[in-house]
């Protein structure tokens, strides 16, 4: 018996909807990252894109545990001297809540 290798042509992609209302940010990010990578599928093959599409709704109602709402920062650097930009999670959630989930999934 040989090992099954998925082909790009045989992969059927589905759309998943994740409701983030009253769920912890990290758990939503782990679930979305697993689905996007395709690791939830039995025919997962590391060198083939087996991932599926994910839509997260109610991104503004996601919760953080502890004091992370005031203490957590998202940082990015432009590459220039003094180019570090910091944004508090509270201000990020008030302006772009979908960006907080996107950054958490990218960090997985």
Burial of 29 (0-12, 13-18, 19+ CB in 10 A): buried
Place of tokens 């709402």: 69
Average model confidence (pLDDT) for the chain? 92
pTM: 0.85
Alpha-carbon span 12 to 70, nearest angstrom: 42
Alpha-carbon span 65 to 3, nearest angstrom: 42
Domains of the chain (ranges, CATH numbers):
12-106 (3.90.1180.10)
Q: In this predicted structure, what is the pLDDT of residue 90? A: 92
Q: In this predicted structure, what is the pLDDT of residue 21? A: 96
Per-residue pLDDT tens for 71-106? 999 999 999 999 999 999 999 999 999 999 999 999
Residue 55 banded pLDDT, cuts 50, 70, 90: very high
Question: Of 10 and 31, which is predicted with more confidence?
Answer: 31
């Amino acid at each position: 018996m040989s090992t099954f290798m998925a082909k790009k042509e045989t992969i059927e992609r589905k759309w998943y909807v994740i409701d983030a209302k009253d769920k912890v940010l990290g758990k939503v990010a782990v679930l979305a990252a697993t689905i996007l990578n395709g690791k939830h599928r039995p025919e997962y093959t590391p060198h083939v894109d087996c991932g599926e599409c994910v839509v997260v709704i109610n991104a503004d109602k996601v919760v953080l545990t502890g004091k992370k709402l005031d203490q957590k920062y998202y940082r990015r650097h432009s590459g220039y001297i003094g180019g570090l930009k910091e944004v508090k999670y509270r201000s990020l959630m008030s302006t772009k809540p979908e960006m907080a989930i996107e950054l958490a999934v990218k960090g997985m």
